Structure 1
């Protein structure tokens, strides 16, 4: 571990224990500057040293998690955070979800909740901790942590969004923790856009088999998708992988512009309306349900355990002004093989007719 990092982390801990917000911010800044100047090795060392601290932090000290996320963004490995950050972010959302109920019980008559910023935390802590006098099973320390979540949740989510963009990190997060992230994110998504993003990232499919069938030509394709954040992005990537010369076994149509493919992979995701990506086909799943660009691959209902997409001709022009929703998450949609005609016929025989009762599907 680079020699300066342990000393600076110790100083950060000292300032957290002192309770001095200005001294804490100074120590945080010094650690950030030193780690970034030292390159990936120092950045990873900082993440590894900070990871054990995170479960016990709350309130303003959750900025420590933001620094760990920033180190990953600057080039550190995120793997030291796998066992701590997702669980702590899930806890923050779980606690945040009950704050309005607890606040209502603790205030009489009911008052508006303080703004979810650190300046309002003191009032929230004072108010909620009064509940410990009569609410059995919840002690003052737990109520304080609940109150702190009102202002610190966004810091935990900000850090988690950064690391969840990494394929190896997502693969290492246990499925039960991902399920908790989705559950708790849904509970607070009405007041937190970041929570919605966390829920979506926790649902991202990696190394997921995908069968695509073109009924017009009775051809099929086996693909594997990783890190595809939304179905609009999937539309662009499918067009790039499958459209070509029909005589060579590909799907007929006009190939997507390179700017569209770049927006869906590793370029600027913003296309704007002047260069909107025009979808090459409409998609339905194997059970006949319309698969719109607004959804996510995880929403595609499997058919006999496999996600299947059926290509239909586009009706009119549908443009996508954004190529991908998660800028730092690089997708991979790999074409594994063109199916043998007998395999395609088997899939075609299992498909349900397309249900075209969605206005966008027409």
Structure 2
């Protein structure tokens, strides 16, 4: 117990030492103290994690591009252990925006200087030729973007961070990130999906076979596999429509229970124009009509199974039924709907 207590005390001491070294621009000591932070992270008390995380986040703007990504990952790890995401997120998401912009500049300069296959930021190492070709800052942005992705998802797991993110900032990040993905062919799917998560979002669902309509509200749902299972739980499980009812465990792992369990689809998800809404996509794919996302449920054209669960294991999700729509209101919503394709 004494050894454990001392190990825990050393975590915050290492954070203090790292702060001092960074402010004094002492690179060698910064590296030594950062290694101590990692060494004592596992034994740190919750109070130390809570206190240390925002202090590390506040240092991000003072760090060179390479170490900045590693410190961002550490901040994310602290948040996953319970540190306040709201206090850490602003500085970290600012750093993410810089990294995405820098990665875009890297891709542009790579193309301008001859093109070819881009180096893989997760398996290749930057060498002098690459640094000279594109410049050190864009190169470091490209190489550290996977680290920023990991750290940012840890922040975006929290609804307060997602709802507190300026919509213009979110749109800018998605636009820049998509440009990087198109230019590089590299998939930053986790970050993209995290930025697309909807919270407290109205959803109108029309069941084509029965002609019934429902007003629901969704929050924290990472992909349409998760949404599909929750729709089946709420509507079929609630006795509102005839379809396969998922088990209690299948529904639970799509809300907040750990793990995954096998499930089978209950519907085919469709847009008002008749096109399919793919399970592999996100709820943001559902078109907005008159202020709500409008989804049509058709019978499944074939049996399809997948592991029920959450795309983001650290993000709780939910779908709630607010009311069953009356016949006149349902008929008005159906005027927006085309036949299934």
Match in the other structure for 2:4:
none
Provide the C-alpha distance between the structure 2 equivalents of 1:316 and 1:150, rounded to a whole number of angstroms: 42
Select which of 206, 209, 229 maps to 1:216: 209
Number of aligned residues: 328
Deviation by residue 1:183-211 (Cα, 9 ceiling, x = unmatched): 12212335543x22111111111000011
Match in the other structure for 2:285:
299
Q: How many Å apart are 1:256 and its aligned residue?
A: 0.7
Q: How many Å apart are 1:64 and its aligned residue?
A: 0.8
The alignment's TM-score, normalised by the length of structure 2, stands at 0.85
Match in the other structure for 2:299:
313
Select which of 153, 156, 160 maps to 1:164: 156
Select which of 240, 261, 265 maps to 2:255: 265
Provide the C-alpha distance between the structure 2 equivalents of 1:111 and 1:292, rounded to a whole number of angstroms: 33
Provide the C-alpha distance between the structure 1 equivalents of 2:167 and 2:225, rounded to a whole number of angstroms: 25
Q: Does 1:149 align with 2:141?
A: yes
Residues 182, 113 of structure 1: alpha-carbon distance in 2 compared, 3 angstrom cutoff: closer
Match in the other structure for 2:328:
342
Provide the C-alpha distance between the structure 2 equivalents of 1:63 and 1:295, rounded to a whole number of angstroms: 30
Q: How many Å apart are 1:6 and its aligned residue?
A: 6.2
> Helix, strand or coil for the counterpart of 1:265?
coil
Select which of 227, 238, 251 maps to 2:241: 251
CA contact (8 A) 1:289 1:354 kept: no
Q: Does 1:229 align with 2:235?
A: no
> Helix, strand or coil for the counterpart of 1:223?
strand
> Helix, strand or coil for the counterpart of 1:311?
strand
Provide the C-alpha distance between the structure 2 equivalents of 1:102 and 1:33, rounded to a whole number of angstroms: 38
Residues 308, 119 of structure 1: alpha-carbon distance in 2 compared, 3 angstrom cutoff: closer
Residues 222, 103 of structure 1: alpha-carbon distance in 2 compared, 3 angstrom cutoff: closer
Q: In structure 2, list runs of 5 or more residues that go unmatched.
A: 1-7
CA contact (8 A) 2:229 2:308 kept: no
Residues 245, 266 of structure 1: alpha-carbon distance in 2 compared, 3 angstrom cutoff: closer
The root-mean-square deviation of aligned C-alpha atoms, in Å, is: 2.8
Match in the other structure for 2:89:
82
CA contact (8 A) 2:237 2:246 kept: no
Match in the other structure for 2:310:
324
Q: How many Å apart are 1:119 and its aligned residue?
A: 4.5
Q: Does 1:64 align with 2:71?
A: yes
CA contact (8 A) 1:212 1:309 kept: yes
> Helix, strand or coil for the counterpart of 2:57?
helix
Deviation by residue 1:127-147 (Cα, 9 ceiling, x = unmatched): 44xxxxxxxxxxxxxx43212
Q: Which aligned pairs between 1:123-202 and structure 2 lie closer than 5 A?
A: 123-128=129-134, 143-189=135-181, 190-193=184-187, 195-202=188-195
Provide the C-alpha distance between the structure 2 equivalents of 1:81 and 1:191, rounded to a whole number of angstroms: 30
Q: In structure 1, list runs of 5 or more residues that go unmatched.
A: 129-142, 357-362
Provide the C-alpha distance between the structure 2 equivalents of 1:49 and 1:183, rounded to a whole number of angstroms: 30
CA contact (8 A) 1:223 1:335 kept: yes
Match in the other structure for 1:135:
none
Q: How many Å apart are 1:7 and its aligned residue?
A: 4.4
Q: Does 1:239 align with 2:232?
A: yes
> Helix, strand or coil for the counterpart of 1:120?
coil
CA contact (8 A) 2:244 2:265 kept: no
Match in the other structure for 1:116:
121
Q: How many Å apart are 1:287 and its aligned residue?
A: 3.3
Provide the C-alpha distance between the structure 1 equivalents of 2:205 and 2:125, rounded to a whole number of angstroms: 53
CA contact (8 A) 1:82 1:173 kept: no
Residues 55, 345 of structure 1: alpha-carbon distance in 2 compared, 3 angstrom cutoff: same
The 10-residue stretch of structure 1 (209-218 or 197-206) with the greater mean CA deviation from structure 2: 209-218
Residues 13, 125 of structure 1: alpha-carbon distance in 2 compared, 3 angstrom cutoff: farther
CA contact (8 A) 1:50 1:68 kept: yes
Provide the C-alpha distance between the structure 1 equivalents of 2:174 and 2:324, rounded to a whole number of angstroms: 35
Provide the C-alpha distance between the structure 2 equivalents of 1:345 and 1:76, rounded to a whole number of angstroms: 48
